[in-house]
Structure 1
Amino acid sequence: MLTSEEISIAARDALIQASTTFRPDQVEAYQQALERETSPRGRWVLEQILKNAKVAREKKYPLCDDTGIPHVVLEIGDQVRISGKVFQAVAEGIREGLRALPGRPMAVRGEGMERLGQVLGMYDDPGMLEAAPVTVYSISGNILKITVLMLGGGPEIRGKTMRVFHRHRGENVIEEVGRWAAEASAALGCTPCVPIVGIGRTQYEAAALQLAAALEGDFTRQSPWEAKITEMVNNTGVGPLGLGRSVTALGSFVKIGPARASGVRIVSLRLGCCFDPRRATVVLKDEGEGNGEAPV
């Protein structure tokens, strides 16, 4: 059986890895963006982002001053043995990770309306920042995957969840999303952006699919509809930090879920920033003693 200590350590390591390290597909996407960007100022921005990522990885510094809100995804194998304390263990690992990183103190004091108005200020302890509700998937095998995504505030300001009329043509939905993303890209600031999209039957399902898109997305594998959204955003000419010309979107991630017999599709868009998705996974094997593997 996997122990609470193993699970806590895995959650901590995933948070730190997600917060400090570009994945290989992100590095490749930026290298390709450098080849496409025609503006000298835009190229300079892309080069600085890559340099920032190199320093963050080597020194284990946060990639961004907005260290983000932890979103945890658990993929639990059908042969894995865990206790009912798995969620407490994950929460403890997240607290340890935020303190070790360290995360930016962002947890607001108080309850209810006090929190809404932020009248009591914030906690100094980064570990007081609560993670978003944990998402759980069932998979086969004897492994437990713990993925942490660190989601910053800027993309939440520019995000959008609304109904789109499909008119019996899926392209209508994708083109509408592309227009949303193109309009918001100029106001985001930290471009190149990453449009992350979930399409479902309800607002909850669309938001959950948006998180799944961020979980599964790979810049080196872009579907035709992902490429379409990216093209529409790049046609704005906003460029990196608004200083470029060719690369406003680094790529797009789209997750299409079940559909109901209806004239509308519910679409949730998160216009990710230039560091998105900050994501890392730690895999634990249940082999009796529960030995863990390194972050992947």
Structure 2
Amino acid sequence: MGISSDKIREATAEALVRAGSSFTPGLRAAYARALEVETDERSLWAMRQFLENADVAERRTLPLCDDTGIPHVLLEVGELAEFGGAHLGAITEGIAQGLKRLPGRPMAVLGDEVQRIEQSQGLSLHSEDVVPPAFSVKRIPGDRVRITVLLLGGGPEIRAKTYRIFHKHRLETVVDEVAQWGIEAVRELGCTPAVVAVGLGRTHFEATSLMLEAMARGDLERQTPLEQQITEKINAGGSGPLGLGGRVSVLATLVNIGPQRASGVRIASVRTCCGIEPRRATVEVG
């Protein structure tokens, strides 16, 4: 017997609500580490406010932020799973149901292509009209399907960057460039401390996909030496939570390195997630 579309629809809706209303254990652990090393009283106050807000949101199942984000879906489909087009439709329906329950902010722009760019026809009043982009799909062993929902807020998107880096055959060159992008972004991002997500690939599409995978699956409780190095370089910039100064501008860094092209260039996608992100939740069905 195949996977029920109803089961997928409900699981997706639950994942969206959980992503939008609660911190992951990893994000809480990152804040706990930050509170241990921060010495600036104003910055400590700011981070405690983030945690208090998260406690209230989770307890009352309310959005972590008034910007409830654009939902992104990352699928991991077992090679033995009976999974098809109807299930993809059920995921889309589950996203809509989750946005109604959370509730999501009504921010779908109405109109044709030109009108949507100009935002001349206003907004839909229905939060469920915020549709997700195309899904990311990966094959995994087994017969089950894992669905990860990410909610991406607007502030980090404004400051995100996908661009080429001339690596000069040195990892340090890439690290320094990524860290500099991060320093500039956290200075402009209102809601810090941030989590920096980094994807390094051969094309802009691949680098951005790798960055999103880092957000969806990266481990905030265990940092690699490379991730820790980037975090320390950005924190040395001294911006601090909410720009108040201090030791912690960045809670952690999530790096995902994919295949690389034989050339002098690496494509990097860097997103400084705000202090409530990554907003993510994963469910498994089958």
**TM-score category by the smaller chain?**
over 0.9
Deviations 1:91-147 (A, max 9, x none): 100000001100001100011010000000000000000112111111011211111
Which residue of 1 is the match for residue 257 of structure 2? 256
Which residue of 2 is the match for residue 126 of structure 1? 127
**Secondary structure class of the residue paired with 2:72:** strand
Partner Cα distance (2:34, 2:133) in 1: 32
Which residue of 1 is the match for residue 269 of structure 2? 268
Which residue of 2 is the match for residue 38 of structure 1? 39
Deviations 1:171-196 (A, max 9, x none): 21111100110111111111001111
Partner Cα distance (1:82, 1:21) in 2: 29
1:37–1:244 contact (8 Å) kept in structure 2: no
1:76–1:138 contact (8 Å) kept in structure 2: yes
Partner Cα distance (2:29, 2:223) in 1: 13
Partner Cα distance (1:219, 1:93) in 2: 27
Which residue of 2 is the match for residue 228 of structure 1? 229
Amino acid at match of 2:200: I
Q: TM-score, normalised by structure 2?
A: 0.98
Partner Cα distance (1:273, 1:76) in 2: 29
Which residue of 2 is the match for residue 52 of structure 1? 53
Which residue of 2 is the match for residue 218 of structure 1? 219
Which residue of 1 is the match for residue 159 of structure 2? 158
1:68–1:152 contact (8 Å) kept in structure 2: yes
Structure 1 residue 173 corresponds to structure 2 residue 193: no
Partner Cα distance (1:35, 1:42) in 2: 12
Structure 2: gaps spanning 5 or more residues: none
Deviations 1:204-223 (A, max 9, x none): 11111111111121111111
Deviations 1:135-168 (A, max 9, x none): 1111011211111000000001001111001111
Which residue of 1 is the match for residue 62 of structure 2? 61
Amino acid at match of 2:285: L
Q: TM-score, normalised by structure 1?
A: 0.95
Partner Cα distance (2:14, 2:277) in 1: 18
Which residue of 2 is the match for residue 237 of structure 1? 238
Amino acid at match of 1:226: E
Instruction: State, as a whole percentage, how many aligned pairs show the same letter.
Output: 49
Partner Cα distance (1:28, 1:114) in 2: 44
Which residue of 2 is the match for residue 188 of structure 1? 189
Which residue of 2 is the match for residue 109 of structure 1? 110
Amino acid at match of 1:176: E
**Secondary structure class of the residue paired with 1:173:** helix
Partner Cα distance (2:56, 2:229) in 1: 33
Alignment of 1:70-89 (within 5 A): 70-89=71-90
1:40–1:244 contact (8 Å) kept in structure 2: no
Deviation of 1:82 after TM superposition, in Å, equals 2.5
Partner Cα distance (2:168, 2:8) in 1: 47
Which residue of 2 is the match for residue 204 of structure 1? 205
Partner Cα distance (1:78, 1:204) in 2: 24
Number of aligned residue pairs: 285
Which residue of 2 is the match for residue 25 of structure 1? 26
Partner Cα distance (1:256, 1:231) in 2: 19
RMSD over aligned CA atoms reads 0.9
Deviations 1:21-42 (A, max 9, x none): 1111111111111111111010
Structure 1 residue 96 corresponds to structure 2 residue 85: no
Amino acid at match of 2:245: G
1:196–1:272 contact (8 Å) kept in structure 2: yes
1:3–1:82 contact (8 Å) kept in structure 2: no
Partner Cα distance (1:82, 1:259) in 2: 31
Partner Cα distance (2:132, 2:223) in 1: 29
Structure 1: gaps spanning 5 or more residues: 286-296
Deviation of 1:226 after TM superposition, in Å, equals 0.9
1:11–1:94 contact (8 Å) kept in structure 2: yes
Which residue of 2 is the match for residue 293 of structure 1? none
**Secondary structure class of the residue paired with 2:191:** coil
